[in-house]
Chain A
């Protein structure tokens, strides 16, 4: 119940924001909403997150919050390739939460652009 309400407020909230905000703040609110829209558009896409200890996680982006904590589904863990180039097999982790403060970089698997190449 509660969760679905929040998700509704995210999607529904955006047009209202535009209307209610005063002109002075209008600019920032549009950037905020576009930020939210962007995040929403990334949901259920593949993310690659590098963590502070060098491990790389690849999984489906499911959830985030203001501190940049990210939940990834069906996640696999890859170790940093060693100096001699040996790469170990990934380890399947499943559902993980990566605290925002441990995230070094985030990559998105952009399927809109490359669809032409691979298909």
Chain B
């Protein structure tokens, strides 16, 4: 007993010492008294489930406590597992676990590839502390004597820094996308950009010289291969860094350099992928690179108490694949600079986002288009870009060059104010496309509120200008010009919102029919009519302009009339409308046949679901939201004199799919989207035809909806 007690005292002293060193705010002295036995006998007196606590502390507070010794919550537990203590940089150097010089080629290649794996894991949302900074060489890059390792380590810091800067500036990340924390590591701000590139170049040239000496025997052939592998990696780092710097320049530049650098990276990537098997490999397959210089737990104690926990580092092969795809994405992103009109830029953003790109490419795209808010490509005023967009959309008389409408100061002010009010919602729309797909849905719902206000203002401005215009010398109707423009965008947002539910797999099968109904009966129909209105308006305007100009260009005019400006877009939306109609009819047919399992209304009310699904539309006045009662009214089969049978419905669906198909076939220069949709409409046409013919009539097996061909419009399969 006595011995134990003295030991206790000794350890107490130690603890006290620690307290003084690190936590000066703590009391200087603890007077520790062992109460273990007393404590455990005292708690026996409590009843089962009884908690002993102060008045100020309750179950609510207790809930947020982290549980020690629970591997999921207790990040510190891992450090204590096993006997091997984690070594920091200095300790590792001291015991010889970390070489600062004379690294062999295999070691250098191995460390580089593993660090790249860590970098990719970071880009996929893990913390730096658990990925890149598990590389001990990065803890003190200036102490490394090996020139290859030093140049590489510094370039990694620089790249981490620049990526972090991109993501932080673009602000399209959420916690699940990206962890910007650096845990107190300094990203070598003392080494300048040219110095970094210089260091890499030096190493690169030296390696290049070595690659040129022809190998003579087997052994040196092997070495030669290693030198080539290392050379391509170092050069890759330099080109990647330069490409990122180039993309990050704040002043508007041509991206010619950038294209060249990215192309260079892609070329080197081929060699890197071929040589991925070279270099030091970990002895055992694990979730973390277990080679010299890496320790997965070295930063464990830097992590906050509750932390996501387990990090699996990507394999080297996967990491290089990621880089290959990243390079391709960056090349695509650079193309934004050729989209000078707002509408084509917006389509580019939406299209790019559909492939679920990584956080880095999403951020860079944002920064290339709107490096500062209100400045497109850093040079054009966003208001002017929007003015052009509205003008080219429908040629509002007020925005036409010879118009006298804006000589009226009041009118001018209204138009300018309206366009200025457009800036924020449209900028949010662009920014929203940079977020990950799941978050976009949420943000689309909120954006509709802004567009509802814009719609209201647009209609008022239109009405004012209309009155003004009718009184002027050259009366021109100005009804629904800005209004149609805003309506077009509002409808597209509404459609994006509804369709995203399919992509994110939010809807149950028994909900499909009203989602498709809404798209078929209203949204696509309205969108087509908005575009048709713009279309006719444009043509009238052009005809007017022609007649003003005289009869000189008569032939030209005749030619022009044939192609309607929005022909392709209208055809596309009509096809989609028919497609949705087909799905709607099919769904009602399935319900009649009892193929779809319906929830019990007392637990899962259809009205509640319906109202929840369309809740964001409630803030809109134009287009008016459709209430559940209206839905029931319009879709009731009792409306028909003779209630249609499921066969009738399948036939009707069949016709709609056929219509969709013929609409799609009229589109010239079809892209991937069109051919995917064609396949969906063709297959569904056949399926519904079979159903109408009585195929599997008696089966109550639910149909299968296969979204692999298209993420919004499924192929129906019968089981």
Interface residues, chain A, CB within 8 Å of chain B? 2-4, 6-7, 10, 31-33, 35-36, 38-40, 42-44, 46, 48, 51-58, 62-68, 71, 73, 76-82, 87-100, 102-111, 113-114, 117-118
Contact = CB atoms under 8 A, between A and B. Distances in A.
Nearest to A63: B53
B69 A7 contact: no
B29 A110 contact: no
B42 A63 contact: no
B65 A40 contact: no
B378 to A, nearest CB: 44
Tell me what chain A mostly uses at the interface: helix, strand, loop, or mixed.
mixed
Given A78-B15, A81-B14, A51 B69 contact: yes
Contact of A67 (B19, B43, B79, B80): B43
B61 interface: yes
A32 B52 CA distance: 13
Interface string B51-85: 11111011111101111110000001101100001
Contacts of A89: 22, 301
B33 interface: yes
A35 B52 CA distance: 11
Contacts of A32: 44-45
A57 B231 CA distance: 50
- Chain A CB within 10 A, most for which of B35, B52, B55, B66: B52
Measured as residues with beta carbon below 8 angstroms from the partner, the interface class of chain B is 35 or more
A65 B51 CA distance: 5
A61 to B, nearest CB: 9
A72 to B, nearest CB: 8
A29 B66 CA distance: 34
A105 B77 CA distance: 18
B52 A39 contact: yes
B22 A90 contact: yes
B604 interface: no
- Across the A-B interface, give the 10 residue pairs with the lowest CB-CB distance, nearest first: A3-B58, A35-B42, A32-B45, A114-B31, A63-B53, A107-B32, A35-B45, A97-B65, A66-B46, A93-B305
B39 interface: yes
Given A40-B52, A66-B48, A95-B66, A55 B58 contact: no
A75 B182 CA distance: 24
B23 interface: yes
Contacts of B23: 76, 90
B283 interface: no
Nearest to A4: B55
Contacts of A58: 15, 19, 30
A109 B68 contact: no
A33 B45 contact: yes
B29 A114 contact: yes
Contacts of B77: 53
B80 A53 contact: yes
A10 B50 contact: yes
B53 A62 contact: yes
- Chain A CB within 10 A, most for which of B8, B28, B55, B69: B69
- Chain A CB within 10 A, most for which of B27, B43, B61, B77: B43
Nearest to A109: B30
Contact of B32 (A36, A55, A109): A109
Contacts of B42: 35-36, 38-39
B171 interface: no
B14 to A, nearest CB: 6
A108 to B, nearest CB: 5
B408 to A, nearest CB: 65
Contact of B80 (A55, A90, A97, A104): A55
Interface in B257-294: none
Contacts of A81: 14
A3 B30 contact: no
Contacts of A102: 68-69
B46 A82 contact: no
Contacts of A92: 305
Nearest to B11: A81
Contacts of A78: 15, 18
Given A39-B52, A109-B27, 12 more contacts: A3-B51, A7-B55, A33-B45, A39-B42, A62-B57, A63-B52, A63-B54, A64-B53, A76-B23, A79-B79, A106-B39, A109-B30
